[in-house]
Amino acid sequence: MKFNPRRDAYGSYVNLHKMRNGTLRITFTPEGRRLAKTGEIKYLFEDIGANSNWEEIRPEEIGALTDATILSDECERDDHGNLVKCGRVYSNIDYYQVEDDVDRLLRTGKLIWKGTE
């Protein structure tokens, strides 16, 4: 898969790829896979925001009634850090209550998160 800086992001543990069908494909980096196998990863998206526009959105910021992880690279915040605009968001809402992202990623080699506006 060729890197496209407008839709892809690479972190220390995972790579994010926005797919044409509106989903988000998440894969391990070699370092992420190694650390996951030893149980050293606590949070997959730890540094993804430092290297890109991606950030975790708190569910209450967009009125979502869930505890699922929500990511987006289409959000704007004011000078106080308040969310003022948000485009497409991606989430593990389909399975977050029954399977851990790290375990699922180790088992399948990728995560596919649905996107919504």
Specify the pLDDT at position 10. Answer: 72
Contact 54, 71 (CB under 8 A): yes
Task: Please report the pLDDT score of residue 53 as a whole number.
Answer: 85
Q: Alpha-carbon Rg of the chain, whole angstroms?
A: 14
Q: What residues contact residue 41 under an 8 Å CB cut-off, 6+ apart?
A: 13, 32, 35, 102
- pTM as predicted: 0.85
Domain ranges of the chain: 8-116
pLDDT at 45: 81
Amino acid of residue 20: R
Tokens standing for residue 97 = 């209550």
pLDDT tens-digit profile, the chain (117 residues): 555 555 567 778 899 999 999 999 999 999 999 989 888 877 788 777 777 788 999 999 999 999 999 999 999 999 999 999 999 999 999 988 998 899 999 999 999 999 998
Which pLDDT belongs to residue 12?
81
Separation of CA 29 from chain center: 14
